[in-house]
Structure 1
Amino acid sequence: MKQYQMLIGGHWTDPAAGEWIDSIEPFSGEVIARIPRGSAADAGAAVDAAHAAFHDPAWSELTATARGALLRKLAALIERDAARLADIERSCNGKNITEVAGQARNVAQWFYYYAGLADKIEGAVVPINKPGVFNYVRYEPLGVVAAITPWNSPLALTAWKMAPALACGNTMVIKPSEYTSPPLLELGALALEAGIPPGVVNVITGYGSEIGAALIENRKVAKIAFTGGDFGGREVAVAAARHFKKVTLELGGKSANIVFDDADFDQAVNGAIAGIFGAAGQTCMAGSRLLVQRGIHDRFVARLVEIASQARIGDPALPDTQVGPIATKAQHEKVLRYIDIAKDEGATCILGGRPLSGPGYGQGQFISPTIFTGVTNAMRIAREEVFGPVLAVIPFDEVDEALAIANDSDFGLAAAVWTQDLHRALYCVDRLEAGTVWVNNYRSTSFTTPFGGYKNSGIGREGGTEAVKEYLQPKSVWITTRPNKANPWVLG
């Protein structure tokens, strides 16, 4: 069992209060590591280190090309250690090793991508409407960025923030979930090994209630990049607004997965399974509302039940496991409460709806794949994010009815359309209120394209060139090119 320290200013540091938190494996219930229980004092020290590093010539005077070279070194180290990082993440959050191994390898690609973008950030010469003046715009880093990341995909969701932020010349304080801190402390170690100057990347651990607020309130923090639920995002936005801090918020979803009667039947069934039962439903983009055209509804649901009932459930360390445990006890209890709520509201549970325990289920932090029919869009099961393997199936008749149901939500993170009719697909794409729309696929993401939500699903975008804009601020520069004899009492 490893006892970690925090990374502050390039040094591995014990928590100021001398307290640690046990990191517990969801499957076995065993303590696998101890992480520092940071305090407001530790958060302040990390911000001070990041602020100092931002102004240190070792970082601030690096060319953009040199920053890109450092990010490429870090990417290569992540590639080298991808299997090890994946196993550490799997042990912390219970995600299937096959999925998290792919994610860990993909993390390296995020750093390669933004390494290449680092010296492609260009300003502009503006053809100004005034004689005798030259104007240009340059883009500058914000300063210290505080990244607050969740437990479901800690490496990936940190890379989504860290790679563009560093490429733009910012410095970072990373606050992982207390449940999944070890993989990000290991990532911090790789940043040092890559030669990124001390203080540019800091990792502090502990409870959000004890150090999260300290980060947001710190005057030296220029931006908060947060991924989590809509409740937490609202709290972050309100606190950041008091200090006019910039924010990127990637929040929850209640994404609609719409299947029309002309869809490739087997492909759509597989997409519905992947959309909700992949990662045991613990993804913000989960297709937790399945809208099926009435003519194929019963046949489609029957096939879903057939496949989902055969899911291999168990130890996430085994490569053939398809559904692993719920990551935390609190989340396990929350999902079970939502199942009870759905039953109380009149939905019909046709599969699952119960916890699993016994041989092969470790400490029993499992919930069987669950499917509800007889759902209306007014039910809580259709309106609130469950974040577990629970699917709400809603029938519809016509395309506009499906769109009305899909858009009748406080969320707008993602949606999908399954049809072989190109005109209908594009009609839906134009009208769906979601930041990502998949057509005949689900859960596809890439570092090359933006990801983020409409409505309560967040503010800003991660991924692609759009993410670069989130970590820069424009500066307009005016230069007089000839003597100016204008009236000093009149605005020029």
Structure 2
Amino acid sequence: MNPEECCESGCVPCVRDRDGEEPLDLMNYIGGEFVPHSNDDWLNVLEPATGYRFARAPLSGEGDVESAVNAAISAKRSWGELSLGERSSWLDRIADCLESKFEEIAALESRDTGKPIALARSVDASRSVANFRFFAELLREQEEEEFEMPDATNYVVTKPVGVGALITPWNLPLYLLSWKVAPAIGMGNTVVCKPSELTPMTADLLMRVVDEVGLPKGVVNLVHGNGVGAGAPLVGHPDVDLVSFTGGTSTGEKVAQSAAPSFKKVSLELGGKNASIVFADCDIGPTVDGVVRAAFLNQGQVCLCGSRILVERPVFEDFKAMFVDSVERMEIGDPSDEATELGALISRDHLEKVQGYVDLAKNEGGTVLTGGEPCLPSEFEHGNWMAPTVIEGLSHQSRCATEEIFGPVVTLHVFDSEEEAIEMANATRYGLAGSVWTSDLERGKRVSSSMETGMVWVNTWLHRDLRVPFGGVKDSGVGREGGRWSLGFFSEPMNICVKHD
């Protein structure tokens, strides 16, 4: 559609191609081959920063899912019979190949998601390689457990679950896909991947890597598409044995409902409405820096972001002034510029959702201290841009303070006691993560243990160790992944008891 043909209300998004640039047509990867999908329907892949189309992804259907699952079934016996050491070597080969494409990963991720190139390089590309290396090493460390009885020995052996459905979101595409693929195939499963239709590019790159290293056919398969056409048939397929899903809570509910009748193993990493608790005795300079990073990394489009900032009254005004000043000095603009700190939001629909919450905050009595409106750098007038937004004056029980916005919008709240801070932090349906900022480490640990979350950082944020469990409570998910928890989810323990003579 040409811009002139768009409806005046903007309800029909324009498809704009750069002069002389043809969009790249992606393909599914099934049974060790890149194959066309079974219909003529496509999904446009747009640059969030500019609105230009640069690729098309297949709008796959049930037939494509069936082919991918069948390919995974055909490979699962031979792949599952390999030793942990043999499979760990395959993970190392994938890591080596990914590392050779490090800059390509970063550039694709920045273009596909709208995030700054520096972030795509330091987080997305680095972690994607690290995930395969980490799980390769962890596999080599695994030992069979034995439990002695007076007249018998019990052996605990791990077996693959079978065929896994791995469904990943748009905010950290390869970071999270590699987080699932590595332990899944490392423990002997075969998988069908379904990346977000908004950000399919690095999933395609991973399939090129899998193909390049010669991974046995059918071990890793990929079907592009949306949730209705590809995601739902994949989750509900009777021959899929496990589902690992990262995404929104409402979609997670549907995944759980679909998987339940056949008793599939399910891991759900869902939304968050995380609190950053700032006590008066904190080192305020580093705390402001840390809380700004926690609030706005990746334009606030990270499930772990601290979007509720609770500040003890004696330092509230000083913290607020320093925080707003720091936010207003953030570099917003071209994602390909090394100096850029804040990029574009993922889509026009998401931008409108975030703007809707800012409007709601105003209606609820909130005061916008900075931001609150779309910002459009002149060279990116058709992109999805939102200024980082700080709001005060809302109740901690307001919708904007309890619902996940998933954008560059934070609310400030004041508290007078440790008990009040804990009560405010827990006043949400979510329970993914949080952070506590204080010079009293005993208080930091005490408050952390009282928070209804799966993870808490003290005087830091997103300080990740891949050996520890990752996941949330309440409406933030079911199960844990990371380290041995990932290996446990992607395997079935079996007890063999041998009677002594």
Provide the TM-score with structure 2 as the length reference.
0.93
Return the alpha-carbon distance in structure 1 between the equivalents of residues 145 and 47 of structure 2: 51
Q: Which residue of 2 aligns with 1:115?
A: 136
Query: 37, 44, 47: which one pairs with 2:66?
Result: 44
Q: Which moved further from structure 2: 27-36 or 441-450?
A: 441-450
Q: Which residue of 1 aligns with 2:30?
A: 8
Return the alpha-carbon distance in structure 2 between the equivalents of residues 358 and 407 of structure 1: 38
Shift of 1:319: 0.9
Return the alpha-carbon distance in structure 2 between the equivalents of residues 35 and 125 of structure 1: 49
Query: 296, 310, 315: which one pairs with 1:277?
Result: 296
Shift of 1:228: 0.5
Runs of 4+ aligned structure 1 residues displaced above 3 Å come to 478-482
Shift of 1:121: 2.9
Q: 2:340 is paired with a residue of what secondary structure? A: coil
Q: Is the 8 A contact 1:70 1:195 kept in 2?
A: no
Shift of 1:156: 0.5
Q: Which moved further from structure 2: 275-284 or 472-481?
A: 472-481
Return the alpha-carbon distance in structure 2 between the equivalents of residues 34 and 171 of structure 1: 26
Q: Is the 8 A contact 1:122 1:138 kept in 2?
A: no
Structure 2 regions of 5+ residues with no counterpart? 1-22
Shift of 1:114: 0.7
Query: 36, 43, 50: which one pairs with 1:28?
Result: 50
Q: Residue 459 in 1 paired to residue 481 in 2? A: no
Q: Which residue of 2 aligns with 1:74?
A: 94
Amino acid at match of 1:113: F
Query: 82, 95, 103: which one pairs with 2:115?
Result: 95
Shift of 1:481: 4.2
Return the alpha-carbon distance in structure 1 between the equivalents of residues 221 and 437 of structure 2: 44
Return the alpha-carbon distance in structure 1 between the equivalents of residues 356 and 393 of structure 2: 18
Query: 308, 316, 320: which one pairs with 1:289?
Result: 308
Q: Residue 213 in 1 paired to residue 232 in 2? A: yes
Provide Cα deviations, 1:27-78, integer angstroms capped at 9, x if missing partner. Answer: 11111111111111101110110111102x2x23322111111100100111
Query: 73, 83, 89: which one pairs with 1:63?
Result: 83
Alignment of 1:30-429 (within 5 A): 30-55=52-77, 57=78, 59-102=79-122, 103-128=124-149, 131=151, 133-429=152-448
Q: 2:293 is paired with a residue of what secondary structure? A: helix
Q: Is the 8 A contact 2:311 2:414 kept in 1?
A: yes
Provide Cα deviations, 1:315-339, integer angstroms capped at 9, x if missing partner. Answer: 1111111111111111111001111
Shift of 1:134: 4.1
CA-atom RMSD in angstroms? 1.3
Q: 1:277 is paired with a residue of what secondary structure? A: helix
Provide the TM-score with structure 1 as the length reference.
0.95
Amino acid at match of 2:445: L
Q: 1:138 is paired with a residue of what secondary structure? A: strand
Provide Cα deviations, 1:437-471, integer angstroms capped at 9, x if missing partner. Answer: 11111122232322111111111222222211111
Return the alpha-carbon distance in structure 2 between the equivalents of residues 92 and 125 of structure 1: 48
Shift of 1:128: 4.4
Shift of 1:480: 4.3
Provide Cα deviations, 1:135-172, integer angstroms capped at 9, x if missing partner. Answer: 32211110111001000000001111111111111111
Return the alpha-carbon distance in structure 2 between the equivalents of residues 311 and 135 of structure 1: 59
Shift of 1:2: 1.8
Return the alpha-carbon distance in structure 2 between the equivalents of residues 358 and 314 of structure 1: 6
Shift of 1:400: 1.0
Return the alpha-carbon distance in structure 1 between the equivalents of residues 85 and 353 of structure 2: 47
Structure 1 regions of 5+ residues with no counterpart? 483-492
Return the alpha-carbon distance in structure 2 between the equivalents of residues 359 and 457 of structure 1: 38
Q: 1:127 is paired with a residue of what secondary structure? A: strand
